[in-house]
Amino acid sequence: MQVIANASQWVGKTFSIWAIVSAVLGFLFPEFFASFAKFIVPILGIIMFGMGTTLKTSDFVEIIKRPKPVIIGLLAQFTLMPLIAYLLTVVFKLDPMIAIGVILVGCCPGGTSSNVITFLSKGDVALSVSITSISTVLAPILTPLLLQLFAGELINIDLANMMLSITKIVIIPILLGLLCHKLLGDKVSVVEDALPLVSIFGIALIIAAVVAMSRDTILTSGILVFVVVVLHNTIGYVMGYVIAKLSGFDETQRRAIMVEVGMQNSGLGVALASLYFSPIAGLPSAIFSVWHSVSGALLANFFAHKDKDAV
């Protein structure tokens, strides 16, 4: 079991590399990797189940113990990222289907990798886990409603079915994971050890599949989409930190909220795009998965050097 744990840790630390490799492979071998598109939803469900096995009721109690930073983090997550996404689609006059994809990823909850990046950035991990957990639980309601608000003029949003889909893809697997943790107790540590390995393999496969299906769009608009994604992620980081600072939070809390705001559950964005829109709409989420892995690692390195210089 220690071998699995060590392998998971190593793969987790090098995720940005695997994300880039998977995108390149999907681009070079589109016929092969496009065939995995039908597994996007089940893969995300498995990842969410794994997330559920790592959660505890204390992760949700944090909002009672420390309501202000959790609520500020959630409000920033679900207001800033959709708004930034919408403004970017207007400024860059994006193709409607790509614009929907950009707004979609902005409306998604925080990503699980944000907890790892917060830890590496020496941020408040408990706060990060709480915001991720609660934003994920709120996603079936807030993600479709926000998408309707910011992208309703571009396409008809099937609110009821999308809410049901997110519940099936995210909430039910997480609840099953929580139940598994409750019933098995410490025995579930085997799953926890393997979780980073499974999650990263799954996300890498999703990235490769979306890149493969969107190869023609990448050739014509790939650079523009990449620029928009980088700006979306970066502005999210900066605004998250600024709002946390203005709210009077300490440095560890600022870093946690910064990362939570800037990093999205882009896997959910890909899954929803594949179910309700088109592979092209999933492209911003796929690129976001690659980029926020890179930017998260850079952010952690920045704070590591900053803390070292401050000593």
Q: For residue 6, is it within any domain?
A: no
Q: For residue 153, is it within any domain?
A: yes
Q: For residue 12, is it within any domain?
A: no
Q: For residue 53, is it within any domain?
A: yes
Tokens of 11: 């793969």
Q: For residue 141, is it within any domain?
A: yes
Q: For residue 10, is it within any domain?
A: no
Q: What is the number of structural domains in the chain?
A: 1
> Which range of residues forms the domain containing residue 256?
39-181+214-310
Q: What is the mean pLDDT of each run of 10 residues along the chain (311 residues)?
A: 60 70 86 84 80 70 81 94 95 92 92 78 84 88 92 80 85 82 68 68 80 80 90 95 94 92 87 85 86 82 75 56
Q: What is the pLDDT, as a whole number, of residue 92?
A: 93
Q: For residue 136, is it within any domain?
A: yes
For the domain that residue 290 is a member of, what is the CATH number?
1.20.1530.20
Q: What is the pLDDT, as a whole number, of residue 193?
A: 64
Q: What is the pLDDT, as a whole number, of residue 20?
A: 81
Q: For residue 25, is it within any domain?
A: no
